Homo-oligomer: A and B are copies of this chain.
Amino acid sequence: MTKIKQLQNYLKEHSIDAAFITDPYNVFYVSGFQSNPHERLLGVMVFAEAEPFLICPKMEMPDAKNAGWTGEVVGHEDTQNSMEILHNTAQSRGINLKTVAIEKAHMTVDRYDAILSLFSSPTIVQLDDQLNAMRVIKDAAELEILREAAALADYAIEVAAKTIKEGITEIEVMTEIELALKKRGVTHMSFDTTVLAGDKAASPHGKTGDRKLQNGDLVLFDLGVIHKGYCSDITRTLALGEPSDEQKAVYDIVLRAETAALEAVKPGVTAAELDQISRKVIADAGYGEYFTHRLGHGLGIDVHEFPSIHGENPMKMEKGMVFTLEPGIYVPGKVGVRIEDDVAVTADGYEVLTKYPKELQIIIN
């Protein structure tokens, strides 16, 4: 309940009577209970001056308790109005809720309307910044889990390197990777495993499909695992057969762009600076127009969280922040390369969590 105490202190300091947290990731962060409630209500209500409670579908109540939540658990059934149950339970605390904090980037308009109407139009303030500020700094236990998650991503690329060959399809390669991970206990990927060959790698968000791998392809792998509730996210681009001079040149530019950003990581550098450092390498090489996305994103319970590493983000890096660095060059129809690491900020620099080699791996078979 450490996170709950931190939140209670925040609420007291800011004269907020209560916070209602419904983003499943934040619910996990503050309660330890992981669940995907679909359209059903799952949330934790935290009060400045009273005991918190967790509200969830009735049938998940035992799971919430087993997950280590020691506070009150309130259940609701599908035939009930769950927002009314929320309101009644909150009322039972005997506190007049004049100011309520919510996650404005998560809460839907209908639940917002329900809170306004049930709680007699309290002042609504956002809790997003505070939750993000807490989640963006990983503690030692979280870092250890993230290291383990990254090691599993490395292993996935090792499997990929052993699996690719002329004639195998992107989907078949993906299946082999995920099967190998399942044998190591991985039950969920962070996002859809991406295997893109040749011209398909030139689409940064292309979908793994029936494209057969051919000698001469660069093959792009973007994948990650969820491990103990935390995500990894790695990209490597491997060469199947001897690469062309252009492929090697583009790869080299991306690698230099990634390395330049990496070596600049330390407390105090801004997200924007990191993005600019990496982008300059690519622009100077004449490929600026083909690097069409931000440099990276924070990583933790969510595969995309704060800090966002983009060219206009003035956020300063701090010890304990974890994010990806993933520059890429995508020349439509021709060549696509991306290299991505998971990086933690340390007291005086950085720790790279993903360890798979970044020199261009050429697979001949």
- Given known A79-B310, A204-B59, A206-B63, contact A105–B112 (CB-CB < 8 A): no
Instruction: Determine if A192 is an interface residue (Cβ-Cβ < 8 Å).
Output: yes
With an 8 A cutoff between CB atoms, is A293 at the interface? yes
Nearest B residue to A305 by beta-carbon distance?
B39
**20 intermolecular pairs with C-beta atoms under 8 Å apart:** A35-B205, A39-B105, A59-B203, A59-B204, A59-B205, A59-B293, A60-B205, A63-B203, A77-B293, A78-B293, A78-B308, A79-B311, A104-B108, A104-B109, A105-B108, A105-B110, A108-B109, A110-B128, A174-B187, A175-B179
Contact digits for A169-189, partner B, Cβ 8 Å, 1 yes 0 no: 001001100010011010110
Q: Mark A94-131, 1 if CB is under 8 A from B, else 0.
A: 00000000101111111011000000000010101000
Cα A62 to Cα B292 in complex, Å, equals 13
> In the assembly, what is the distance between CA of A205 and CA of B308, in Å?
34
Question: Does A252 count as interface, using CB distance less than 8 angstroms?
Answer: no
CA A187 – CA B39 in complex, angstroms? 24
How many identical subunits does the complex contain?
2
**Min C-beta distance of A165 to chain B, whole Å:** 18
A79-B312 contact given A63-B203, A206-B63, A304-B38, CB 8 Å threshold: yes
Interface contact A171-B192, CB-CB below 8 Å: no
Contact B171 A182 (CB under 8 A): yes
Within the complex, the shortest CB–CB distance from A328 to chain B, in Å, comes to 10
The yes or no answer to A358 lying at the interface (CB within 8 A) is no
Across-interface contacts of A113 in B (CB, < 8 A) = 104
